[in-house]
Structure formats: C-alpha cells, structure tokens
Structure 1
C-alpha cells in the first residue's frame, strides 16, 4: 500500500472509485500524469483498517511475470494463503491455473480483499490477463482486482464489460476540472509559503503589529500578519539586505546588486502586496475594520513599540516607525 500523504481530495473521483468494491475487476486507464496511482492510493487508504489491501507496483519489474507473482505473494496478509501460493508458484499451465482459481474460490475472505497491480502496461505476457479473466469470471465474493495502466490495447475485456464484471475509470474522468485546478493551486501556494516560512521565518515585529491589530481592531491574527508583513519587510531591509533580497527573489523580484537596502525593501514590499492581493486575493483589511482615528493610531503605535516580539526584530521599531506602518496598512 502507498504511503499516506496529504493530497488534494477529489471527492467526485472517490465516488467513482467506490465501484471497486462492486465489481470483481476495475481498470483505471489514462496516459502518464493523470494521477491514476494517486487517485487509487488515496481512495484505498481510507479502507486500510476494514479491507485487506495488496499493492504491487510493476514499474521496476521489466515486465517479469515472476516479479509480479513474488511481490504479490509477499504482500498477502493471510499466512496460510501466502504459504500455499508461494509453494504453488506462478501457474503457467492450465491445470495449475484451474487449481489457483479453485483455491481462491474456496478461500474464506473475512473482509473485502483488493489486489492492485500498478503500471500493468509493462506486462507483455497475454497469459497474465487471461488468468485474471479466469478469476474475474468466477465473481468471487469479497475479492476485487484493480489494474492501473496506460495501455488498454493488450486487455481484451469486452466480454467482461458485457457481463458487467468490469468497471473502468478513464482519462475523461481523471482529468482535473477547473475547480480542482484552483484548489490544487491554492494547496501548492500554501505549501510553498510553508517552505519559505521554515527556511526564512522568525518571529519579528510583524507579529507585534498583528497582535495590536487583533487586540484593537478585532482582525484575525493570520490576516493581520499578512497586512503587516510587506511593510515590516521593507522596514527591516536596511538591517538584513541579503535576506530581504532572497525573499524578494522568491516573489519574482530581480536585483542588479546596485540597489540600496531601501530600494530593495520597497521592491519586496510591492511584490509581496501584489502576491497577497492579486494572486491570493486576500480579503482587504477594510473587510474587518475601518481606519482608526489618529488618537487610536497613536496609542496603537506606542503599544507596538513596547510589544514583546519586538525583542526578536533585527531593527528597533520606534513609535513613529510603527505609526507610519499603521498608516500604510490602513491606506
């Protein structure tokens, strides 16, 4: 079985894949890059505790039937069945095939069993699919086979379709919809920002500003950080010019090396604001609060100067500095 990973949840695909438990054979077919393996793996992961799952990846098999058989047997959970199949070996002749089918029919499946053969297109021996057809035609209760493949030309499944023994998921269904592409993009952006945070992040005066925005204006902390960050990056640029430039390049800035720290900071501030407002389309601050009056801004600036996280900022932020940043945030 594949490793559990945080992936885009494609509910409509999962609904179609529920057919795996309704048919003895399911064929997932599409060219490379359509997410066949990911879709099946993600779907079956949710049944890891309620079904017996055997996953055999054939990508490195070189098309070897022995490779397929050995890896299949090694991954079977029932020790008695595993021992019997290992002793039997791959059934090349008709008698052994008949014995295998009888064994699978007589085996007591206490819960659904799913065998997945991934990258099945590498298997060139037509006898393998012929054997699968023999098993499928018996419609053994609680036994299901899933073939993930890029090529259908070697799979003569017409008779199975007619007998309603086979379900197929094709590239037409696997193709991402516009809504899924947008969700995938959002997830990628979040992952990218998380990586930047882990590489370059530290608590700084941006949190000081955000804490006061939250306390005085009721703005959620994540949003408040997003409103404060561009201006604090610009403020800190004279103290950390190389790091500021590195962050700027992540947002698409290019530098000749002749820029002053102030020029670089301004460029980074503009790039971060564009990313926040145009790419992420973050809710504007006016959606949470109007600009406080001058007296309140003065009090907020004084509180920002004394806020705890100022101790971690690379450049001392005075009340007048904080006042300018607040004015810019609300402008």
Structure 2
C-alpha cells in the first residue's frame, strides 16, 4: 500500500506552445519520485491522457505523443481517463489556452471522467487554470476556489456558482482543492503531502527541492510593492529620499516641501505617476521594507516595525494581515533566514 495514488490529467495538446509544462512537472516532481527515507512506499503516480486508448491499453501514437510538435516535445502515457476513478487524488493542471481565452469547449469525455472520479470519492485538485475543468464538471459549485489572478475574472464570469477568490495562493475545501498558477501549484502539492504524511515529511521534501517549507494558502498571490516607472524628474529624487528614510515619521507636507511643490500639487503629480496616493505609496514601501527584513534577517518583529516605519509590532501585524494576508511570523516561517557561515581565517601550517 502506497501513500496514495495520484492521477494527473495530461491534455491531448500537451506539446503545443500554449500548454505550460510547468504545472504538469509539479505533481510529477512531488509525487512521482520515490522518497523511501521519508515514506515507503511513496505515492503512485499515473499520467492519464485524454485521448482514446487502443485495445491493448496503450495510447494511439497517431494522437497522443505525436512527434510533429512545434516545440519538438511529445509525451506518451499508458493511462487514460478511465483510470481517474480508481485514483485517490486527481490533479488537473492548466487547461489549453483556447479553453480559457476563447471559451473553447473542454472534452466531454474529460468532464465526465472528472465527475465519475469525484463520485468515486477521489480528492479533486486543480493547478492554475485547471480550475476551469473542475468548474465545468460542476465540482466547484457553491465552493470557494482560486486560479491564477490573470484568469480569475474569466472564471467568475463563466461559472457564477463558484465563489472565486483571486487573493490567495490556494484553497483547501476538504475534498476539492484549487491553486493559483506557477509556484502556487507547488505550494498546494506540498500542502497535500503535509496533509497525507505530516509536516516533517513535507518540510524535508521542500528542503530537497530548495523551496519554502510552507506558504499558507491564505497568503496573497501578488501584491505590487514596486515603484512604477515615471518620467517625472521632480518626483524621482524625493521618492528615492523617502525610501531611504522610511523609518522616519514622513508626512505629505514634508515630501511636498522637498519636491518644491504644494501638498495639493504633490498629491496630483504622485497620483498621476504611480496611480496611488502619497499615504498609500508610503505604506506599500514600508510593507516592502518589512518583507525584505523578514526574509533576510533574524531581527525581532518589534525592530522590523521600527525600521520599516510601521511603528509597533502590533501595527506591523495589522497592516501585514490586511495587505499580505498572513502574519509576519507566518511570512517569516515561509522564508526562513539562514545566517551566512563565518569563514575562519586560515591557520599557518606547522
């Protein structure tokens, strides 16, 4: 008996440029490589093609894995859609772009197989735009779900019965789990390992993959803390000065004075250049400084609050929870700081 069987859906056009192989590689890496020292036996991975099978069970080479691929890449698998219902976990990586951008229909056989697997008790999982397949099968109706933030508006519009949340890395709704795109899919797969085999196994596996051991699903997918490019040379010097003095109690009046503008003009010019208000801009810069310090130092939260200009530890936690979606402590656990090794001076030979 293994840690569980994991069936990964491989769309028929896996070899075309619109297919992002990254989402397919994630479950293969997490569940496909045995880790006997962590759990023995490990997961049983099955790659299930969406094309019809030949009578002997092997896929039709003229369809799945055809060598005439623009990318020079092909894929063959001995499993098909009929094998989904026998799996403990079914994972649907990103669906073809045409199904998302143009509303092209997903294969009816795939949708039927997903429903059958769910009815059989399989844990249903989507990575990135794989949520469109689960939604089409009706498996997300009345549930909270997510996908890559670039596609969540389309998901919500196309499937109004789904409670789409575009602000999280992944959603664990028990027997149905969905994730945002790219590395959020890896976060979700490691979360599954944590659920199945415990935190120690998941942490050790993450360490081998050189990724954060655990990013909570509620953490924000994307927060723009950058400084937008601007040709406004009157603003650039004062914004650079402000970023270098974030620990000080900066005011709009002081920044306007340094820019040789009235507060009203400064407000208008900054909003035109950055799309935000001066106070919001300062908050974003301070949160960015706090994130950097949490990732790269072992300073206490109280000191980070001071250095970032957010004041007390409580104030830092308040803004972090509101804007990032997790506490500073949880964020730091996702990016553990490793102090650089101290090189001892060479000793002369006797």
Q: TM-score, normalised by structure 1?
A: 0.27
Instruction: Point out the structure with max Rg over C-alpha.
Output: 1
- Greater helix proportion: 1
